[in-house]
Structure 1
Amino acid sequence: MKGIRIVLQIACLYFFYWIGVLIQRTFEIPVPGSIIGMLLLFFLLLSGIVKDRLLDEGSGLLLRYMPLFFVPATVGVIRYPDVFAGKGSLILLALLLSTFLVMVISGLVGQKAVELADKRKKRGV
């Protein structure tokens, strides 16, 4: 039963992706459909129309295995050493700096989201 629930939750997340792509293609918006779908889901979660517990297990599963999705990109970069021959150290520095910034900002946003969720639970919302 739990497996079916997770599959349905992931299908719901995919539905938001699909709606975002549909909106992007219909209105020819120069923003990727996945971003539009994510923003749509974000606003529905903020408004309370969609409850976060409805997507909790499916999104948790995807987040748990997310690092595996980056392996093909890393392997692809390794196949082109000539790109790093001239300015490789600068590219490596930019890569490390951007990774660090993403980690710090993601951590701060995550902490703020948990604090806000705790406040909402205390208020009984």
Structure 2
Amino acid sequence: MKLIRQFGIILAITFAGEVLKGLLPLPIPVSIYGLLLMLVLLITGILPLEAVQDAGKFLIEIMPVLFVPAAVGLLDSWPSLQAVLLPVSVITVVTTIFVMAVSGLVTQTVIRRERKPK
């Protein structure tokens, strides 16, 4: 019952993101509205982490399964993708390395700041 309530909260926030997308004429995906709304609710303490923590952990555990439909969609588009396979592969590798480097630097900076005596 606890997980159902937590999924209900997540779905309600996702629905609120849908409503925001309808109200605000910005070119932002609905999922970003929902994520920002969830972030604001968690940071302000309006929504305690415990209210969605178990459902969030479950979703992270099954995340690889959630990519299966996208992979099937790519396979379905294979004839169109063959022509741009090399540029897309290079862009994917370069951006992955860039994101890993930036994430590592940010993590190191945060760890160093936490270790400094206050």
The aligned residue for residue 15 of structure 2 is 18
Closer, same or farther: CA 43–108 of 1 in aligned 2, 3 Å: farther
Q: Give the aligned CA root-mean-square deviation in angstroms.
A: 2.7
Closer, same or farther: CA 80–64 of 1 in aligned 2, 3 Å: same
Closer, same or farther: CA 108–7 of 1 in aligned 2, 3 Å: farther
Give ranges in structure 2 of 5+ residues lacking alignment: none
1:81 to partner: Cα distance? 2.9
Mapped partners of 1:104, 1:10: distance in 2: 34
* TM-score normalized with structure 2 length: 0.74
Name whichever of 99-108 and 12-21 sits farther off.
99-108
Alignment of 1:53-64 (within 5 A): 53-64=50-61
Aligned counterpart in structure 2 of residue 71 of structure 1, from 68, 71, 83: 68
* TM-score normalized with structure 1 length: 0.70
Aligned AA for 2:86? S
Q: Percent identity?
A: 26
How many residue pairs align between the two structures? Answer: 111
Give ranges in structure 1 of 5+ residues lacking alignment: 120-125
